[in-house]
A and B are shown apart, each in its own frame.
Chain A
Amino acid sequence: MYGTQSRRDVAYEYQAQIPILRPSIHARRANITVKFQDLYGFTVEGNVDDVNVLNEVREKVREQGRVWWALEASKGANWYLQTHVSSTLKSSLKFSALVNAITLKRLIRKGIPPALRPKVWFSLSGAAKKKSTVPESYYNDLSKAVEGMVTPATKQIDHDLPRTFPGHPWLDTPEGHAALRRVLVGYSFRDSDVGYCQGLNYVAALLLLVMKTEEDAFWMLAVLLENVLVNDCYTTNLSGCHVEQRVFKDLLPKKCPRHCFFEKCRIYAHLEDLEFDVSLVATEWFLCVFSKSLPSETTMRVWDVLFYEGAKVLFHVALAIFKMKEDELLMTHHVGDVINVLQRTTHHLFDPDELLTVAFDKVGSMTTTTISKQRKKQEPAVMAELDQRLRRLNSVNGDDK
């Protein structure tokens, strides 16, 4: 009945014998799945090519580091903060700010070195500003005040702690669980409309890995939910998420057109024929901000741009994934095949540049304003749909449990 089982067992046995990042000659020959640790300590499965790509990525990260350090040396430690032109500044300063802004946008799309991420994200996302509007002791006070309190949110958080990236060398330890718990519980009290939404566990976990301090991770989570992403992404009926999905469905045929003007967007038409709803895969992408789908460094590179350019970046990336696999997707016959192609693609995107080049150079530009307009357009339909569903469900006099 389960013909694939035995083959899988064999593959697992092989994995156990293969040392990290040094696949054996047999593995190379047979192109067998190997397990290795990535830059953020996650154990990932891939083939030997993936290991090589990851090693190249490590080298590129080091190169980017040198570029950033050189800029700090020539322009000053906080040069990237001087990109906003204040009206009181002299024109000569305005010019240098403009140069900095252009340099910065390009640099960020090429990636922020992991060592600089905490500092750069914290300033550029607005988290630093958000934190500065409350007393210094805000986070500590909040953590202390909510300690020992039990709410539906805290119960769900406790349930999810060991289920958040299980097996990670730090996140899946008592210390990691405790830090993640404080951030999520703290946030559930900061915004009771959000409380706790599954998905945030993955997001907060990655923020903890990057930001080094728990408090900074908390503020990054706050700025992400309150300023970067669309409103109500994580509240009771995920209405914001529904809006984003509709916007995405609208964008797909526009942004993945074929070369010929008259030709209908083939990929869109094909997926429609298969009755494939893009939300089937994109919901997780958006709610976890890709943290559960893409390899960690690729996710971080998406977040680099997200925190600087805003939520439109999510559309760029989601569209890019479809665009990269256009030919393969056109050959699918079943919804299942489409999903397998997309999952395989996202899980193996170990080279962030491969994804981001398509996302920003091939998808075409989008402005935050156009996305906002699209959202406004979709909101009434989403609200009507959610409302209708509730009314239909409540129409039967079932028991209330």
Chain B
Amino acid sequence: MATIGHNNLNAKLVLLGDMGAGKSSLVLRFVKGQFLEFQESTIGAAFFSQTLAANDVTVKFEIWDTAGQERYHSLAPMYYRGAAAAIIVYDISNTDSFGRAKKWVQELQKQGNPNMVMALAGNKADLEDRRKVTAEEARVYAEENGLFFMETSAKTALNVNDIFHEIAKKLPRAQPAQNPAGMVLVDRPPEGSRATSCCS
């Protein structure tokens, strides 16, 4: 769950999606600015944290990068429980992975935190010549389901920081008031004028 104190926000974020869609690569690009052609397969889940500034808030993402193989799905609730945000990843060159992404969306809609910020990432956007899922199809699906959508490429870094940044911006107003400890979060103006921070 996201918790806020002063201008800092801790937000649990989970990545879900088919095996080989590029979840770990997206995280590696975002957290370390690196890309590996062959990223070790994730077992269970891997944890990372990364901080970024969005508007006047510093968001510390606690990222759970989950394993993609179907049998690992039974473990997923442990990772998305209490998550403030989710990135559902598919591979634009793989139709099955888009189907799998839809299943994740369904599961989160049913079982996840109702205020969760959900992003749909059409990854491997650099593989244009092998594209199987059109951006239009994904955008329509995302709109119908209340997700925001971006095509990303962990390889070229296209939209990788942007998708996390977009989530960070959407987070504060999406917080449920069920923080167990600390200050209760007040709703913030969604896109409001950029407040100047007094202490930078």
Contact = CB atoms under 8 A, between A and B. Distances in A.
Interface of A: 1-2, 5, 8, 156, 159-160, 162-166, 197-199, 201-202, 234-239, 242, 275, 277, 279-280, 283-284, 287-288, 292, 334-336, 339-340, 343, 386, 389, 392-393, 395-396, 398-399, 401
Among B74, B102, B103, which residue has the most Cβ atoms of chain A within 10 A?
B74
Given A1-B53, A280-B78, A386-B74, A199 B102 contact: no
A242 B44 CA distance: 11
A196 to B, nearest CB: 8
B194 interface: no
Interface of B: 10, 19-20, 32-33, 36, 38-45, 47, 49-50, 52-53, 62, 67-69, 71-72, 74-75, 77-79, 82, 96, 99, 102-103, 106-107, 110-111, 161
A8 B78 CA distance: 31
17 contacts: A156-B69, A159-B20, A163-B39, A163-B41, A164-B40, A166-B38, A236-B71, A242-B74, A242-B75, A275-B82, A277-B78, A287-B44, A392-B110, A393-B111, A398-B106, A401-B102, A401-B103
Given A201-B41, A236-B71, A389 B77 contact: yes
B19 A393 contact: no
A165 B40 contact: yes
B102 A166 contact: no
Given A197-B71, A198-B72, A401-B96, 5 more contacts: A164-B41, A275-B82, A336-B47, A336-B49, A398-B102
A163 B38 contact: yes
Given A162-B38, A284-B44, A198 B49 contact: no
Given A1-B53, A393-B110, A284 B43 contact: yes
Most buried by B among A198, A283, A398: A198
Given A198-B72, A386-B74, A401-B99, A280 B47 contact: yes
A386 B102 CA distance: 21
Given A198-B67, A284-B44, A398 B103 contact: yes
A166 B52 contact: no
A198 B18 CA distance: 13
Given A166-B36, A287-B44, A288-B43, A399 B102 contact: yes
A284 B41 CA distance: 12
A112 B131 CA distance: 52
A339 B103 contact: no
Contact of A336 (B62, B68, B79): B62
A8 B53 contact: no
B161 A1 contact: yes
A201 B43 CA distance: 10
Across chains A and B, which 9 residue pairs bring their CB atoms closest together, nearest first?
A401-B99, A283-B44, A284-B44, A162-B38, A237-B74, A166-B38, A198-B69, A199-B43, A339-B47
